[in-house]
Structure 1
Amino acid sequence: MPSSQHLLLKQFLTAATGPLARSRPRLPAIRLAAEAAALFQFVPWNVFLQDADVEGMAAEWLRPVGARPERVLLYLHGGGYVIGSLNTHRALVGALAASCQLNTLAINYRKAPEYPFPAALEDARLAYDWLLNQGYEASNIMVAGDSAGGGLGLALLQHLRDARQPLPAAAIGLSPWIDLALPTTLRRQACQEETRMLEALEMQTWGSLYAADTPQTHPLVSPTKGKLHGLPPLLIQISNAEVLHDDVVRFCRKASLSGVPVTLQVFEGLVHWWHLFWRFVPEARQALQQVGEFTHSVWAEQQAQSQVNSAA
């Protein structure tokens, strides 16, 4: 059963998004509201910020004290491919960096509708290549993202695989948006409060803004439509109350049948983007702790395999 803190959060979000759903604000107003809300976020103690320039793209490092210098997490923020920035996700990325004990690079990839597909994917690939050029081994890189950023990370994996490029050690999707068409009407009706919040944020139109002239069924737009063989270990977290739930479960089943090691963690009754509220919601802190445990297990397995190979 969700915590009392989450119940309060859910009530607040439902009340806050009601007027938005009725007024249908334009995208610039939604972006401004998201940036304003970011003013109340704070990075955890012992995580230090450092500006970065990734081939002209704004980015920043979030560096936890004690993180190993040779390992890195590339983070792709959510926001339906149309909103969000380094500011809106800085607190979440900082908390994730601390939980994983990984130096984390967050990037401000280009947004639709000004820059539709494949701009965001090109920027994600640019950041990944930049890390390789900085001397990081692919086996020491992980990719993570929430919502649209989670989908973007999974699209990046397929793109790298098809281009025969070295793949990262693992990828993490926090409530990833992997099918831009969104789930069925019946599923939306079963999650009425969640649906109202998504509709208030115009999410149903954002997929078409990002895809533009590209079919939403393109595998690099909706990664669940692609071939999933050959991908590295995946950790996927989702709530059973999210409208994205069914698509995520189907994706994980498909990936597993394709031979991909998949860890699916389903939480009970939580709203989309609950990870953002880690300071207030215990389930968010639990989720981030489990991400940290996953990354540590991947590194441990990698090290054990290396020792076996050396002995052979």
Structure 2
Amino acid sequence: MSETLNEAVEAVIARVKQTYGRWRRDTTPAQMRADWDALFSARGDARIEPVVAGGVPCEWVRAPRVRDDRAVLYFHGGGFQVGSLSSHRELMALLSAATGARVLGVGYRLAPEHRYPAALEDALCAFEWVQARGLAAEHVAMAGDSAGGGLALSAMLTLRESGRALPAAALLMSAWTDLSASGESYETRAADDPIHQRPMILAMARNYFGDKVDACDPRVSPMFADATALAALPPVMLQVGDRETVLSDSEAFATKARAAGATAELQVWPGMIHVFQQFPGELPEAREAIAAGGRFLAAHLDAASPRKTSP
């Protein structure tokens, strides 16, 4: 990694750590969410249209000259506790341009006020809402980062279990697929990841699902889905940074999905941190990754045929 790139990454890390450093045990979820939103700009040449999708607050994000007969559902990250349509608006705008389709940002309910399965219910509701307005499932893709990447997988596995149509493809950025944090990268990348350590990950996980389910339940940890379920997934691209403690969440999931017969393209970006795609102004790799993800989704949105599976 070049000295210039290293400086850019370290500057991003400093910004994130400054935000995290303001949080104390008594910091309210509302304050953490406001701080997190303030960390990210809302740049991007896109038209924003707020909508309510079956009771779920969402917004259409349209870059100039994109198609309205294709759509990408986007699930933001934030450990199921922070993150919003505002914090991810720039990323969604760039993804809209890269895909050539409009993006529906899904403002799913957050923990601890709304624990599992609230986020999953909202994700499925938004997918059904889009189809009810004339977009067939094969003309819809899913995308998400961190917790949102795991949520996209959980939604697709739930659709498969109930025999409903699945989306054409999915783009998963630094996806959180194992809420038990059992991957080897929690040890091998602990010194490289300046922010996300195993105790923090486990605390966020418990805050999300409470006492309702076990961390290894595939409904919250798609990593533990069986081969039959994984085989039914549409093509997925997983992007992850080499400096992430959640590196194994992408690597091991891709390995399991491929072994089951699914198409899972894995991109490990050297020197990159958790959801580096959220810093396109500072990191050229972020822009390159979004462009690559957009091309992947566009190809499958154009080529997809109806996909419906039985439990």
| 8 Å contact kept, 1:21–1:200 | no
Match of 2:98 in 1: 99
More helix by share: 1
Could you tell me how far 1:199 is from its partner in structure 2?
4.5
Is 1:10 the counterpart of 2:28 in the alignment? no
Match of 1:79 in 2: 78
Q: Name the amino acid aligned to 1:158.
A: L
Could you tell me how far 1:189 is from its partner in structure 2?
5.5
Task: Using the aligned pairs only, state the percent identity.
Answer: 31
Among 244, 265, 268, which residue is 1:266 paired with? 268
Match of 1:256 in 2: 258
Q: Residue by residue, what CA displacement relative to the aligned partner does 1:244-301 show, whole Å, maximum 9, x if unpaired?
A: 1123111101101111111111110111021100122000001011012212322454
- The change in CA–CA distance for 1:68 and 1:160 in structure 2 (over 3 A counts) is same
Distance 1:129 1:104 in 2: 15
Secondary structure at 2:110 match in 1: coil
Secondary structure at 1:69 match in 2: strand
Name stretches of at least 5 consecutive residues in structure 2 with no aligned partner: 307-311
| 8 Å contact kept, 1:3–1:282 | no
Is 1:204 the counterpart of 2:217 in the alignment? no
Could you tell me how far 1:5 is from its partner in structure 2?
4.1
Name stretches of at least 5 consecutive residues in structure 1 with no aligned partner: 307-312
When the two structures are superposed, what TM-score results if normalisation uses the length of structure 1?
0.89
Match of 2:43 in 1: 43
- The change in CA–CA distance for 1:140 and 1:6 in structure 2 (over 3 A counts) is farther
Is 1:215 the counterpart of 2:214 in the alignment? yes
- The change in CA–CA distance for 1:89 and 1:23 in structure 2 (over 3 A counts) is closer
Q: Name the amino acid aligned to 1:98.
A: A
Match of 1:276 in 2: 278
Distance 1:16 1:230 in 2: 37
Match of 2:242 in 1: 240
Q: Name the amino acid aligned to 1:212.
A: G
Secondary structure at 1:71 match in 2: strand
Distance 1:154 1:223 in 2: 6
- The change in CA–CA distance for 1:261 and 1:280 in structure 2 (over 3 A counts) is same
| 8 Å contact kept, 2:42–2:86 | no
Distance 1:8 1:152 in 2: 30
Distance 1:128 1:156 in 2: 9
Could you tell me how far 1:234 is from its partner in structure 2?
0.5
Secondary structure at 1:62 match in 2: strand
Once the two structures are superposed, the pairs formed by residues 123-138 of structure 1 within 5 Å of their partners are: 123-138=122-137
| 8 Å contact kept, 2:169–2:234 | yes
Secondary structure at 2:108 match in 1: coil
Match of 2:148 in 1: 149
Q: Name the amino acid aligned to 1:165.
A: R
| 8 Å contact kept, 1:78–1:149 | yes
Q: Name the amino acid aligned to 1:203.
A: I
Distance 2:15 2:300 in 1: 41
Distance 2:160 2:207 in 1: 26
Distance 1:231 1:293 in 2: 19
Secondary structure at 1:266 match in 2: strand
Secondary structure at 2:142 match in 1: strand
Match of 2:309 in 1: none
Distance 1:301 1:70 in 2: 14
Q: Name the amino acid aligned to 1:33.
A: D
- The change in CA–CA distance for 1:2 and 1:296 in structure 2 (over 3 A counts) is farther
Q: Name the amino acid aligned to 1:210.
A: Y
Match of 1:62 in 2: 61
Moved more, 292-301 or 222-231: 292-301
Could you tell me how far 1:3 is from its partner in structure 2?
6.7
- The change in CA–CA distance for 1:103 and 1:219 in structure 2 (over 3 A counts) is same
When the two structures are superposed, what TM-score results if normalisation uses the length of structure 2?
0.89
Match of 1:291 in 2: 293
Q: Residue by residue, what CA displacement relative to the aligned partner does 1:20-75 show, whole Å, maximum 9, x if unpaired?
A: 4696453533222112224xx13322x21111111222110001222122110000
| 8 Å contact kept, 2:12–2:279 | no
Moved more, 242-251 or 143-152: 242-251
Could you tell me how far 1:207 is from its partner in structure 2?
0.4
Distance 1:190 1:297 in 2: 33
| 8 Å contact kept, 1:144–1:173 | yes
The Cα RMSD (Å) is 2.4
Distance 1:175 1:42 in 2: 21
| 8 Å contact kept, 2:174–2:275 | yes
Aligned pair count reads: 300
